Chains A and B, each alone.
Chain A
Amino acid sequence: MTQSKLLLDQVSKEFGDGDTSVKVLDHISLDIKSGEFVAVVGPSGSGKSTFLSIAGALLSPSKGRIWMYDQEITKLSAKKMNQLRLSHIGFIFQSSNLIPYLTVRDQLLLMAKLAGQHGQEPKQRADDLLHRLGLSHRKSHYPESLSGGERQRVAIARAWMSDPELILADEPTASLDSERGRTVVQMLADEVKLRQKAAVMVTHDQRMLDLCDRIVYIEDGKLSEQPRPIQL
């Protein structure tokens, strides 16, 4: 049996309290195994962002329990959650997630710095990642001179830099045309398979769903899993 990378058990999230409380997530359970690439789709306001925040240890759930890899992360202090994100989770956000004053290579090295790694090894790792994602020739460019697709590839490289167990992607293709978007998602999927890690991608983009292993729908805070659509 393959190992669970992320396990959510009856997770609920409410905002506000008493009469004014709003239930954003309602008893969600989800088990993501090694090597799985899961898409999360749903209309605006369905709770996708909250789901991603909870899965990414940015928010604590109101009810339910969460395990990441082999560690329960339901009730961690802000500092512990920070550590966890740094070492176990890779994030890919929408378009604005690169630091404008860092070169492509420095974007990756920042992750090593934050984790307290020094010396040649992180540099080698960064160069390898950039090579694999076809960005070697862009190493010393600033984000402003990259195309949208290149930026998202840098974001993917950065997310892999700390060798996380789980990648969380928040609409990574939102600012890309479909061809470039597909390339980016394909790269993400390939890396997940190659490394036997796991990835969750929140997306609006129906065209990317065939690249995912599983598709999960969220609507009004409830989660339902659908069979993989037949490829067109």
Chain B
Amino acid sequence: MFLALREFRHAKLRYLLIGFIMVLIAWLVLFVTGLAQGLSSDNASSIQNMKADYLVLQEESDHRINRSVLTDELWNEVRSHPGGSDAAQLGVHMSTLTQEGSSTKFDAAFFAIDMESFLAPKVVEGSRISNTDAGVVMADSSLKDDGYRLGDRIVDQASGTSFEIAAFTEGQSFSHAPVIHMNFEGWKSLQPGSSKHGAIYNAIALNGSTEQMEALVSDIPGIELITKKEALQGIPGFQEEQGSLIMMIVFLFVIAAFVLAVFFYVITIQKMNQFGVLKAIGAGTGYLARNLILQVLSLTLVSLAISIGLTYGVSYLLAGVVPFSLTPSVVLLCSLLFLAVSLLGSLLSLYRVIKIDAIEAIGRAA
């Protein structure tokens, strides 16, 4: 790797410039990825963190939890089916709330669950509420940033019912709004009309094998079964939001590949004569190819390292202002992809290096 390093040292400006472009692209890739992840969890972390594999919805509800209405009758049917042994009801209701004694409004999603079921979220402050007390709820800790504390009371605008925050949970949001978990007693007070038909739910969360689920769908009419992933896609705006960000990331990867490809191609063309001389004096094609690959890899690795640092630096500065989440495994994945893309970009130059004939060195005056 004698040649590669010495060339870097000699042509510092050239490689610094291309390195700078790579840093910017990698930085943007990582930042947009972090943003996509942050937005995704801001949008739907309560579904992502849900300990269920499948959701049962009313048929024709288009994978949207809030479009589906399920009755007690259906719940009992699912419950008694062998595939429904590990099931829990879920009620979802988007609502506008105020703090008692204040008129500032905020949006939240009420999640009605059985507090003894697997849907019950982990409590980080306070204690888990029971299934019987209608007046208490558990709120996502993002409400703490807005000044809410344990014991504060919140009022549902539509029904006028008020609830006491008895506990805080973590990582619970739905459709960019914090999730407030309640029991079915509280749920009833939100829906005064529902008593006629018994309780109404939006979904039934299920765990079980694929075969059991298939049997369940074919045995019980009027339902559709979706996976957790499909439920995410069904959240209004989720797909569009993620889609546009992912498109940006894909384009950045393509741009990175082309920038590197063009840069190294031009440099290689410029060095054709030199490669001819090197081959004539006995440098093998393998040696020259290894040098080129080493240059591409080291350039990419250094750029990546710098951009990872920059990304975390900026995310630290912007903490709380933008939803940003970047786990080490995602960084690793992005970095590997970036390396793969840069190698792909060097293929064209590699081809030229392999094709150069040592004879070109003879009879050349330039």
A binding-site residues for B, Cβ under 8 Å: 49, 52-53, 56, 58-59, 79, 82-83, 85-87, 89, 91, 93-97, 99-102, 106, 109-111, 113-115, 142, 158, 162, 170-171, 174-175
The residues in B between 351 and 366 inclusive whose CB is less than 8 angstroms from any CB of A are 358-359, 361-366
Q: Do residues B364 and A96 form an inter-chain contact, with CB atoms below 8 A?
A: yes
Q: Does B273 contact A (CB under 8 A)?
A: yes
A28 to B280, CA, bound (A): 23
Q: Do residues A114 and B283 form an inter-chain contact, with CB atoms below 8 A?
A: yes
Q: How close is A145's CB to chain B, nearest CB, in angstroms?
A: 12
Q: Do residues B280 and A58 form an inter-chain contact, with CB atoms below 8 A?
A: yes
Q: Do residues A114 and B287 form an inter-chain contact, with CB atoms below 8 A?
A: yes
Q: Do residues B282 and A170 form an inter-chain contact, with CB atoms below 8 A?
A: no
Q: Do residues A93 and B362 form an inter-chain contact, with CB atoms below 8 A?
A: yes
A102 to B281, CA, bound (A): 15
Known contacts A82-B284, A85-B281; is-contact A97 B362 (Cβ 8 Å): no
Q: How close is A107's CB to chain B, nearest CB, in angstroms?
A: 10
A162 to B361, CA, bound (A): 19
Q: How many residues of B contact A (CB 8 A)?
A: 26
Q: Do residues B6 and A96 form an inter-chain contact, with CB atoms below 8 A?
A: no
Contacts of B284 in A (CB 8 A): 79, 82
The secondary-structure label for the interface of chain B is helix
Contacts of A162 in B (CB 8 A): 282
Q: Do residues A96 and B281 form an inter-chain contact, with CB atoms below 8 A?
A: no
Q: How close is A6's CB to chain B, nearest CB, in angstroms?
A: 16
Q: How close is B299's CB to chain A, nearest CB, in angstroms?
A: 15
Q: Which residue of B lies closest to A49 (CB)?
A: B363
Q: Which residue of B lies closest to A161 (CB)?
A: B281
- Please, could you name 23 A-B residue pairs with CB atoms under 8 Å apart, sorted by A? A49-B363, A53-B359, A58-B359, A58-B362, A82-B282, A82-B284, A83-B282, A86-B281, A91-B280, A93-B277, A93-B280, A94-B364, A96-B364, A99-B278, A100-B274, A101-B9, A101-B10, A106-B2, A109-B2, A110-B3, A114-B287, A158-B281, A175-B365
Known contacts A82-B284, A85-B280, A91-B280; is-contact A110 B2 (Cβ 8 Å): yes
Q: Does B7 contact A (CB under 8 A)?
A: yes
A158 to B281, CA, bound (A): 9
Q: How close is B26's CB to chain A, nearest CB, in angstroms?
A: 26
Known contacts A52-B362, A58-B362; is-contact A99 B277 (Cβ 8 Å): yes
A79 to B279, CA, bound (A): 11
Question: Contact check: which of A53, A95, A110, A113 meets B362 at CB < 8 Å?
Answer: A53
Q: A56-B362, A95-B366, A111-B282 are in contact. List 6 more A-B contacts (CB 8 A).
A: A53-B362, A56-B280, A102-B6, A110-B2, A111-B281, A114-B283
Contacts of B358 in A (CB 8 A): 58, 85
Q: Does B11 contact A (CB under 8 A)?
A: yes
Q: How close is A140's CB to chain B, nearest CB, in angstroms?
A: 12
Residue with the greatest number of chain A CB neighbours at <10 A, chosen from B3, B280, B282, B366? B282
Contacts of B278 in A (CB 8 A): 99
A124 to B208, CA, bound (A): 74
Q: How close is B64's CB to chain A, nearest CB, in angstroms?
A: 62
Contact with A along B323-366 (1 / 0, CB 8 A): 00000000000000000000000000000000000110111111
Contacts of B362 in A (CB 8 A): 49, 52-53, 56, 58, 93, 170
Q: How close is A87's CB to chain B, nearest CB, in angstroms?
A: 8
